[in-house]
Structure 1
């Protein structure tokens, strides 16, 4: 299927209009329509973009600009005026790909020259030019056979440890998808695909998701967030578990089952015992609240069954792969991103819809050491909140809902809020932010320079003089 991209106008002539020379500044005063978020000590946050259409997956390109999947609309390219720390303003918003098919997933190849995005059915690829802000006219369909109208995100991850490897997560097609019990359906799985020998042509034969690729795990209800731990290369996912469940005809849905963080081994090992395992769904789930009858010695994170019969019961479930960590039920984790030094992972928690007291609606962090979470598998306090809503009882109607996460080259954490059409930036205030010592121009036209010079950034000429940046518009005639 061909997805249209933005038409590119040939650059025929550049005219520098001297009357518009101004000192570039960033307006850092955007305000949400709901009560401003609360941030923990040592952090600051600022709203930096509004008016987007259901922004989901986000990623920075090689030029330092932000690509945003707008669910049901396509992909936009954002250039920021950057005043440092949390002071950013959208200087330019360009429609890169116009398509109602795209849902969530986005990734860039190891050389940043190929852009990947996904619909509910397929993964597509375009040749991408970050400097020209353009994609190839025709997309290639890389992977197909993932149709379904319930969980449609199809999260994408390009490995940084194993070149030319694309990880794709596909969720279930319903709340309790009994077809996921059959491994051949491809439902509720995470698979890795080799792109090294995949030709970038529009007529090449796509991979079929269910029958191709390397199986990293199955029995995973809806693992929207997938990340690669940067020191060891271990693959982790965060899973949205089932809603409205009963155990032996007793309603336990308020606090069970727990949301999961699962471990899937290393891509650079073909014999990893942690790879390809069954994580239990659709019959087995992770325990969060242990105050339900007849649990025996089970604890937080133990796999339990909804019903007890001769074939599917708690004993059967405990033979499946248990989560590495378990979180409060229904918080809906949608993304996970690691710091480059591997000491922390950030998680976006989209928020519940089926609890009396809403849970989630926040960004939190997880402490890591030597490639693994610091917290024990049965911990109930592994997450440390970074940014929360003032009053979750007002959610989801009057609060932000975190979706995608991305780290820029300065270590700032960006978050998309799909329900409000916004982008936030979060910055640690307890550590210094790199400034003019960088040898490359940051992703804006406002970075200060000690050495001076001239740069061309998209449709701007940027003169770098000590302590100030002056930008001049370039007109395409």
Structure 2
């Protein structure tokens, strides 16, 4: 009995120490302001321009580093809430051409990473943090250095499919009006096929086109594919400069990925001729022409076949966000009640705008946003820079977000070389 009592006492005595374990505080490079109920802390700093962010099935974090490193493998200690810190970190793949896109098959065995021109695949072991058997799977995506990101998504509803995004060649890429350029679109590839023989980008199925620079692509729990698009810079209409508040940044829908008959699939979303209104007050004759928030319209001088009616016959955005705020990702919480969108921030307006993480409420029953397409308040800011006048040089700049297997939300900030964990009602309706 004495031995038993001693064992119980020793175990009980050790409990306060275990419970009290916590992570060392890392001061953020730039302080963040949080909406009521939300909080956050820096999990890791000292990275090299972190961009893409995913978790493997073991709960390890993988990020692409645009600053010349490649892919980093990070093991975490999680003591509850935002009390999360790095247990170990190592370079998984060294390749200075890797710049953004990263995805894992749902079984956690195949890792896909992209560069400006190419998508590669590796066999991946999350337990040991190792890769092997590198293969080129998609190629032929050189844009001459403009819009370099190639976002990758493997939908859980269609796990043999790899979605690959490609942006425009220029601010206004006139040839992108033809699908044959392979620019400004999202294409779908059958993974089992491209692992056997690499495919040219033009060989993929067009899931959506007419998308200027859709860096953010995500899957709703119902299998619906959504994206956020970065609108054109320096916009004019009928001889008037309207670029400061137009066009909007778009939230677009591309149908359920496992339904080839979905009417949204393969849709043309307007670029390079068409955009959507954010601020009708500065557009000449907007009221007479019926131009309101979210209405597609033509840039420049309407005439001939280049008309607003032509634009309105194409796919309109489901929601709009303020111009030049640069949304770069969209991820849904586990019950489909919210999407989280990081806005990287503007260079084409003064004062600067964006530089924040926002929540958009969703109706899980319909699979659609709660707010109508004409809303200007759908994006609820939960983490932001209090003074965007100091941006971009003295701000955090969100790039990607990712949910851990346990449902926690993490975010990369490329200018401050940090990864944050965000606390609050992330998975609540």
Mapping of residues 296-311 of structure 1, within 5 Å: 296-306=289-299, 307-311=301-305
Report what 2:273 is aligned to. 283
Asked whether 1:398 is paired with 2:394, we answer yes
Partner deviation per Cα, 1:370-399 (whole Å, 9 max, x = no partner):
211111011110011110012111100111
1:346 to 332, 340, 345: 340
Aligned length: 403
Give unpaired runs (5+ residues) of structure 1: 1-21, 433-477
Identify if the C-alpha distance between structure 1 residues 110 and 73 changes in structure 2 by more than 3 Å, giving closer, same or farther. same
Aligned to 1:40: 35
Segments of 5+ residues of structure 2 without an aligned counterpart are: 1-16
Q: Secondary structure at the match of 1:334?
A: coil
Counterpart CA distance in 1 for 2:75 and 2:38 is 24
**1:243 offset after TM fit, Å?**
0.8
1:325-404 paired onto structure 2 within 5 Å: 325-369=319-363, 370=365, 371-404=367-400
**Residues 61-460 of structure 1: matches in 2 within 5 Å?**
61-71=56-66, 72-136=68-132, 138-148=133-143, 149-199=145-195, 204-210=196-202, 212-230=203-221, 232-291=222-281, 292-295=283-286, 296-306=289-299, 307-369=301-363, 370=365, 371-428=367-424
Q: Distance in 2 between matches of 1:106 and 1:44?
A: 27
Deviation at 1:25, TM superposition (A): 4.2
- 2: distance between equivalents of 1:355 and 1:63? 42
- Return the alpha-carbon distance in structure 1 between the equivalents of residues 258 and 307 of structure 2: 35
User: How much has 1:79 moved relative to structure 2?
Assistant: 1.3
Q: Shift of the alpha carbon at 1:33?
A: 2.9
Describe the shift of the 1:77–1:43 C-alpha distance in structure 2 as closer, same or farther (beyond 3 A): same
* Deviation of the 1:279 alpha carbon: 0.6
Secondary structure in 2 matching 1:316:
helix
Bigger helix fraction: 2
Deviation at 1:26, TM superposition (A): 3.9
Give the Cα separation in 1 of the matches to 2:76 and 2:190.
Answer: 34
Q: Cα RMSD between the aligned structures?
A: 1.6
Residue 105 to residue 337, structure 1, CA distance change in 2 (3 Å)? same
Question: Does residue 56 of the first structure (1) align with residue 47 of the second (2)?
Answer: no
Mapped contact 2:320–2:375 kept (Cα < 8 A): yes
